[in-house]
Amino acid sequence: MLKRTGHNQSNSEYDDFRGYLERHCGIVLGDNKQYLVSSRLGGLMREHDMASLGELVERLNQGGRALRQAVIDAMTTNETLWFRDQYPFNILTAKILPEFASSSTLSIWSAACSTGQEPYSIAMTLEEAKRVSGKNTDYRITGTDINASVLAKAGEGIYDSLALARGLSIERKERYFQPLEEGRWQIKSAMRQKVSFRALNLLDSYGALGKFDIIFCRNVLIYFSQERKADILNRMASALRPNGYLFLGASESVTSLTSAFEMIHCRPGIVYRKKA
C-alpha cells in the first residue's frame, strides 16, 4: 500500500512530481520537501480541481503549457534584493569596468534575474561609474528568468516600499525611480530602456542571446544537480567573449564542475574569468 504523506500525496506521486520538475527546470527537490510542494501548489490544485499530486503530474504529462508554466512559477524561489551581497557591484566598479574602458558597448546578462533587482542594480552601478570616469561607455543588460510572473514585474520596474527598503539607498531611489501612488516607485524609463527582459530556461540553448562581456548567474545553481551545474557553466563560458567575467552567488562555485574559468579573489568576493 502507498504511504500517504498528507495533502493527498503518496511517495510515488511525489517522486513523479520531482522527476517532472527536475527534467523541466532543473530544480532538485529533496526527499522530504512534500510540505513545500503542498504549500506552493495547494492553491493551483484547488483552482484546477485536482485531488492529488498524481493527477497534477498526469495533466502535466499531457503537455499543457499554461499549467506547466503555472507550476514552474509556483515552484521557483524568487528571493532577491538590491545590490545583493554588495561585493559583485564593487568588483564591477573597481576591477572589471576599468578593464573594459576601451570598449564602446558592454553587454551584460543577468541570468535568473527574478523581479529585476539584480539587472537594475548593475545598471545603477554602470551609470555611477560613467559619472565618475566621465566616459560614455554604452551598455545593454539582458535579464532572463524561467518564471513568467517575475519577468513581467521586472519589465514594469514597479516596486512597493517593502521591496525598495531591501538594499536600496534613499539617494538611489530618488535618482533612478519616479514615485507612483500608494508608496510604489517605478524605475525611470531611461534606465528601463537599457535593460531588456526575456523568458529563458537555463536548461535550454543560449544561442539566441548573443555574446556577453559579463554574466551574473547568482543564487540559482544551488537548486540544480552537479551535472546540470557543469553543463550550464560550460555553456555560459561559450556565451562569454574572451576574458569575459562570471559572477556566481556567495555560496556557489565552479570548483570541480568546469575548467573553463579561472578564479579571481578580490577580497572581499570572488569573480570568475573565462580562460583564454
Question: How far, CA to CA in Å, does 24 sit from each of 18, 21, 76, 202, 241?
Answer: 10, 5, 12, 10, 28
- DSSP letter at 267 equals S
Query: Rule CB under 6 A: which of 220-259 touch ligand SAM?
Result: 220, 249
Interactions with ligand SAM, residue window 206-225 (CB under 6 A): 218-220
* Site for ligand SAM, residues 27 to 46, rule: CB under 6 A: 27
Q: Give yes or no for residue 26 binding ligand SAM (CB under 6 A).
A: yes
Q: Which H or E element spans position 16?
A: helix 11-25
Residue 188 or 198: which CB sits closer to ligand SAM?
Answer: 198
Catalytic member of 16, 18, 84, 145: 145
Residue 192 CB, shortest distance to ligand SAM, in Å, is 18
Kindly give the pairing relationship between strand 261-265 and strand 158-159.
unpaired
Known catalytic residue at 184: no
- CB-nearer residue toward ligand SAM: 13 or 252: 252
First to last CA, the chain: 58
Q: Where are the alpha helices (DSSP H) in 76-224?
A: 87-91, 97-99, 117-133, 148-156, 161-164, 170-176, 189-192
Report how far residue 80's alpha carbon sits from residue 257's, in angstroms, rounded to the nearest whole number: 25
Active site residue 175: no
Q: Which stretch binds ligand SAM (CB under 6 A): 21-29, 44-52, 63-71, 173-181?
A: 21-29
CB of 263 to ligand SAM, least distance (A): 19
Tally the residues of the chain.
Answer: 276
Q: Which residues are tagged catalytic?
A: 40, 145
For ligand SAM, the binding residues (CB under 6 A) are: 25-27, 76-80, 84, 112-114, 118, 145-147, 150, 201-203, 218-220, 249
